[in-house]
Structure formats: structure tokens, C-alpha cells
């Protein structure tokens, strides 16, 4: 089977898995962050999913939202709202800007950090993204909280090729609400990014789909 056929199979498998509510591993690019994220449809996240991200991935649990959803909820880029010298110069080695918006908890959570609490916040964000205009965001969520929100670029992969956009594009391809959880996979021994080979091996052990960001970009952009 040719490399292009393998790439197409991986993308199709990723879309199908996402549509079933299953996580997918996405490696962005060696010349970008060079990281693999475990990615879930936000509405499908439960406490077990949060535990997997916490124990097996180890990065930040973030919810990537489409630009349309972020606009409906009036979500800013957080660096544009901070009146502090640390926010004045925000150059990134791998991109022009950060996608970070607010941090939030659902108002029915207690501390917001437990697996159950974060699962409630994440899953409700996913459900709310189905019809964002009908949601009074401030009545349902409070900030600051323990779940980081990421605002995707308006034209998704046409504007930016980060995990934020790859995850939202995957949700669109799977005909799901435009809200997806991303969590960086770290090496438990070194604390650095898990290598693509290690991430692929993890996916094989766990029966999950691993896909290259370049292949998603080629098929979904």
C-alpha cells in the first residue's frame, strides 16, 4: 500500500473514531510544536477521559472552539485583555500568536479541578457549541476556572495549522459540534514532548487512531 493510501486510511479512521466519540492522537508537525495531542470530541468527555488525559498525556486540558462559537460567546484572546507588561510581547517560536482565551468552570462544579468537575465543564461546553447563540455563557460558566478555552482561527486550517484548528477541523469532518479537547502528551520520564514513535506505540497499545497533522491538513483544509 502506498504512503498516500496509508495517510488517507489514517485520516478516514480518525474521522470515524471521532464521530464515535473516541479520542484520536494528532501529531502537528516536526517544524511546529513537534507535539502529539490526545484529542476528544468535547461533548463525549467523561471523568474517565479526563483521567486518561491527566495520567497518560499530562499536558493542559483545553477546549478548542471554532471562531463562530467564540464570537457568539464573546470570548477574547486572553493576551489582548491583560494589562500587564508580560502580555505586551508574546512572540512564539512556533507561531504568530497564542490561541488561549478564558479559563472557565461550569457553575455546577465545586472546585472545578476534579475529574468529575472538569468532565462536566468540558462536556457541557461541547453540548453548548451545538447552538451557541442560544446559550447565556456567563450564566452557565464562570471565569477564571480550571479548563482552558482556545479560540480557533476564523478560516481554521487556511489561517493556522495548530492543534486548535486541527481538532476543530476534525470535529467538522465528523459532523460534530465545533468543540474539541486537546491535551499534550508528555514523556513521563523526561517531562519533554512524547516522541511521535512513542505516541504511535501508545495508540497501538490502547487501540486508538494516530494521525499526522500534515495528513489531516492535506485532506481537510
Catalytic residues: 37, 62, 94, 105, 146, 184
Q: Is the N-terminal amide bond of 13 cis, ω within 30° of 0?
A: no
Q: Which long-range contacts (CB under 8 A, 24 or more apart) does 90-99 make?
A: 94/32, 94/33, 95/32, 95/160, 95/162, 99/64, 99/150, 99/151, 99/152, 99/153, 99/160, 99/162, 99/164
For 88, counting Cβ atoms within 10 Å of its Cβ (0-12 exposed, 13-18 middle, 19+ buried), the class is: exposed
Distance spanning both ends of the chain, measured CA to CA:
24
**Residues 144 and 20: beta-carbon distance below 8 Å:** no
Three-class DSSP category at 185: strand
Q: Are 189 and 195 in contact (CB under 8 A)?
A: no
Q: What are the beta bridge partners of residue 37?
A: 26, 184
Given 3-state DSSP classes, what are the helix, strand and coil percentages for the chain, each rounded to the nearest 5?
45, 20, 35
Amino acid at each position: 500500500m502506498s504512503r498516500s493510501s496509508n495517510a488517507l486510511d489514517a485520516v478516514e479512521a480518525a474521522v470515524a473514531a471521532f464521530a464515535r466519540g473516541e479520542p484520536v492522537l494528532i501529531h502537528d508537525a516536526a517544524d511546529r510544536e513537534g507535539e502529539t495531542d490526545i484529542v476528544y470530541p468535547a461533548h463525549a468527555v467523561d471523568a474517565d477521559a479526563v483521567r486518561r488525559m491527566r495520567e497518560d498525556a499530562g499536558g493542559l486540558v483545553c477546549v478548542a472552539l471554532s471562531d463562530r462559537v467564540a464570537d457568539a460567546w464573546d470570548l477574547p484572546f486572553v493576551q489582548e485583555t491583560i494589562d500587564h507588561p508580560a502580555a505586551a510581547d508574546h512572540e512564539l517560536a512556533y507561531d504568530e500568536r497564542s490561541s488561549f482565551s478564558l479559563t472557565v468552570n461550569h457553575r455546577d462544579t465545586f472546585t472545578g479541578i476534579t475529574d468529575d468537575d472538569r468532565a462536566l465543564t468540558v462536556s457541557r461546553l461541547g453540548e453548548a457549541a451545538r447552538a451557541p447563540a442560544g446559550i447565556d455563557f456567563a450564566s452557565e460558566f464562570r471565569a477564571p476556572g480550571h479548563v482552558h478555552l482556545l479560540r480557533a482561527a476564523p478560516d481554521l486550517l487556511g489561517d493556522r495549522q495548530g492543534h486548535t484548528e486541527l481538532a476543530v477541523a476534525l470535529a467538522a469532518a465528523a459532523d460534530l459540534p465545533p468543540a474539541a479537547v486537546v491535551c499534550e502528551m508528555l514523556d513521563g520520564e523526561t517531562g519533554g514532548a512524547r516522541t511521535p514513535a512513542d505516541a504511535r506505540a501508545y495508540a497501538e497499545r490502547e487501540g486508538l487512531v494516530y494521525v499526522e497533522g500534515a495528513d489531516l491538513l492535506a485532506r481537510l483544509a
